[in-house]
Structure formats: C-alpha cells, structure tokens
Structure 1
C-alpha cells in the first residue's frame, strides 16, 4: 500500500462506486494489501478488495445507522440455505466496524459486463430472488422486516414519524410471506459468467415480510441501473404478474424509510 493510504475506486454507478480515491481505515490497512475499493454505499460505507489471499472487507464508519453485527448474524443464518458470502471475521474500533468475507466467483449485476446485457441481468435478478424466497425457511426465521418493524425502526432512528411515513396509509394485504433479502437492488445480486444467478450479498435487513417488499425494490432498481423496460422481464423470471398496488406501496415505504 502507498504511504498515503489512498487507493483507486472502481467506476461510479448510482449510490456508490465513486471515482475519487478513498482513505483506507487503519483496521483495513492492517489486514494486507488493498487492491481497490469496489463499492461505496449511499451512507459512506466502503467495500474493499484485499490481496493475498483475496477477501472482501465491508467497512462502515462509526455513527452510521448500519448494524454490521446484525448482518453477520443474518449471513450466518442464511448461509445454511442459500448462496451468500462466508463470514471470515468481524470487528470494530473507534473508526468503524467491518466484516471480512470470502470472495465469491460472480460479478455484480451492475458490473460493466452486465450493464451491457441488461436483459440477462434482470432475468438473473428475478430468478435469483425467487430462488432465495423459496429456499429460506419461514419457520424458525428470527428476523422481521415487516411494515410495523420497518416503520418503528425508522421513527426511532429519526426521533419521530416523518410526513412521508405518516402519508403511507395502511399496507395492502399480504400476498405471500417469505424471508426477504431486505435490499434487493440490482447490485446485490451476483451473476456467474454464463449469466445465471449465483448468490446474494448485503443481507443486513433480511427478514420476514411480504415478497412484494423485495419485488417492488428489485424492479425499482432496474430503472436506476438499466433504464425503462426491464421491470416485467424481472417479474417474468421470478414467476409473478405485476401488482401495481403493492409495488406502489412498497416503493413509497422504501423511499420513506
């Protein structure tokens, strides 16, 4: 690592992936050579790719409303049933907290290769989300991502209910309860080289909810990442018809929380 502690960041796309250099936290620098910063989330958390051996480090600065302990517990639970990163270690210091995971062989659905093949990407996202929903067992799942829980967490974090949350109204009747991913945006699906779904990452909000809580966000993110025209192919690959009412509600809930 250069003495400056700065490394190049992968090309920008939406909520993260800036092109400016990033300062490597002390804890991450102490783990070995940093090849690049592969992602920056909307709140400023960073994901680093380390060399020798290859590992990923998800790091968040102190003070962000991101609970990596909760993600570790969810990853370890979900790993028994569906492909997700293997947690190698986790820790925290005065600068922030981190999770170290074993690398997976796939590429994010927003990797430049798949941005050039958006129909392949969205079909894999839909198929992968259906596979996850079918694989994760409701019975015994200890995590909740239902509407009351999400609203309560957001209200507690912000010290009261925002006008956007107050205006949501009652949620639509549940279509089908599943264990949801909790952040089913396109970047969190990994694809194999043949274009098939491989695995999911970033499971910090995983929990039981209506499947449309995931589907509304997954289709929403096709607009951000690929442009119009890819929502229905994703739903076709999942195996469900469009549901405008549930999609509208869960997108508004996503924006408000």
Structure 2
C-alpha cells in the first residue's frame, strides 16, 4: 500500500487519521475522513484510468440533480491516483431491515426511473451490451469469474455453460437495447443506494464508476436480485417486484431480467 499512501498524502491533509473502509476492484482503497463528510478512493497506477472515469461520471451525475457525491479533489501521477468526494447522507440500503426497506422501496423505484429518464443524448458514457459481453468472455477465458455472485441455480454449472446460455440470447438482447437505451447507474445494488431511514427517502447513489448508456435491465435485474437478500420469502419478493414495476412505470420482462442477472457476475473479476 506504500504507493497508495503516498498518493493519498499528497491530496489529503492528515491522511493518517482517515479510516480505511474497504478495498475495491483493481486494488483500490476507500477511506473516510474523521468528520465523515468526505471519502477518498485511492487507486494503483494500474487502476488510475478507471478511477479517472469514475471521477468524470460523478461530476456528470452531480450536474443532473440526481443525488450523489460531488468531486472535491483529484490527483494522479506515476504512483496512482486519488479521488476525494463528498459523502452522501444516510446509510446504505442493504443495512435496512425488511420493514424499513419496504417503506423506502417505492421511492427507490421512482428514483431509478428518474435516472433512466435522464437524456441519453447528454450522457457521454457507455455501458453497452457488446462491451459487457466482451468483458464476460474475457473473465470466463481467464477463469476469474466471481462464482459466488452467480444466482444459486447457476452456481453448480461450469461458467462456460453460463456464458453459452447468454450467447444464445445475445442477439435478442441486442435488439432490445437498440429499442430502449437509457442512462444506467451500472452497479445498482443496495449497498450503492443511500437512504434516510427516518424519512424513507433515497438521498442519492454512490459507486457510479460503471454509469453509462445501456438497457435499463442492466440496472433493474441487479437491483431486484440484490433486494432478494432482504425479503424473507418468495412471496415477499414477488410483492416487492410488483411494487417496483408499478412505481417505476413498466411491466417487468422476465427474459431481459434473467439475462442481465446472469451476465453481471461474469463481468466481475474474482
């Protein structure tokens, strides 16, 4: 972590007092300031380009009126890069119990709709299916799939079989994307949704490093799958799906939902 500490120290005063929260993809670290008003994400030289992309996406989203962090500072050199951003108030939605998530759920569906209704002509970032499938093929070829993220019904299958199932539906899903492409969060799971549990309102979205134009089911499938870890049974999950569909304003397409739920884990390195 020596180089990362060097980069952090150049940007953050009193960096030794910041608390490491997590280690992200590509070896990035996330730290929280002592007053909990700011976060810093520090990447190695290998992750510098990805972090710059996240910086640009945060800056873009902050201009749309959708809640999220704002960029406070940035530094990049041969050792790596450091992004400092504001904290988003509230707690991650995955920390809510069933009762509180149920209260927030209708507003969350509306907030997802608001993101998807942003003008795609104004969004310079892409997360199109062709690129996602190329990444999945690469992850599978390198045998680096995070298999624990796969749906339970797929975890006993060889990952090559999962990829082949996706390939068989690829043409149909490309056609869907051509008909409906929206601004997507790109990693819309409950830990990336910040909530005020007292008001049952979403305060904003974090983790927007994958934000870009895509089929809306790239978000919808991941969010509904993430929420299933909170609902106590299948009946509750089906009820929550129905509430989401009503408040989002669209019927749920089972085929598109299943495709993106299967695809997302194949795009993540173990």
In the alignment, structure 1 segments of 5+ residues that lack a partner are: 6-23
Deviation at 1:97, TM superposition (A): 3.2
Q: Provide the rounded CA distance (Å) in 2 between the counterparts of 1:101 and 1:253.
A: 30
Higher relative contact order by CA 8 Å / sep ≥ 6: 1 or 2? Answer: 2
127, 147, 171: which is aligned to 2:110? 127
Deviation at 1:80, TM superposition (A): 1.4
Deviation at 1:120, TM superposition (A): 2.3
Name the residue aligned to 2:265: 255
Pair 1:116–1:44, CA change in 2 (3 A): farther
Alignment of 1:67 onto 2:50: yes
104, 117, 124: which is aligned to 2:100? 117
Name the residue aligned to 1:147: 129
Deviation at 1:75, TM superposition (A): 1.3
Q: What root-mean-square deviation, in Å, do the aligned CA atoms of Structure 1 and Structure 2 show?
A: 3.1
Alignment of 1:205 onto 2:210: yes
Pair 1:65–1:159, CA change in 2 (3 A): farther
Name the residue aligned to 1:184: 188
Q: TM-score, normalised by structure 2?
A: 0.73
Task: Give the total of aligned pairs.
Answer: 233
Deviations 1:57-79 (A, max 9, x none): 12344546981111111111222
Q: Provide the rounded CA distance (Å) in 2 between the counterparts of 1:199 and 1:159.
A: 36
Pair 1:253–1:157, CA change in 2 (3 A): closer
Name the residue aligned to 1:14: none
In the alignment, structure 2 segments of 5+ residues that lack a partner are: 144-158
- Give yes or no for contact 2:126–2:212 (8 Å, CA) kept in 1: yes
Name the residue aligned to 1:106: 90
Q: 2:229 is paired with a residue of what secondary structure?
A: helix
Q: Provide the rounded CA distance (Å) in 2 between the counterparts of 1:127 and 1:100.
A: 29
57, 74, 98: which is aligned to 2:40? 57
Structure having the higher helix fraction is 2
Q: Provide the rounded CA distance (Å) in 2 between the counterparts of 1:40 and 1:234.
A: 32
Pair 1:60–1:125, CA change in 2 (3 A): farther
Name the residue aligned to 1:25: 5
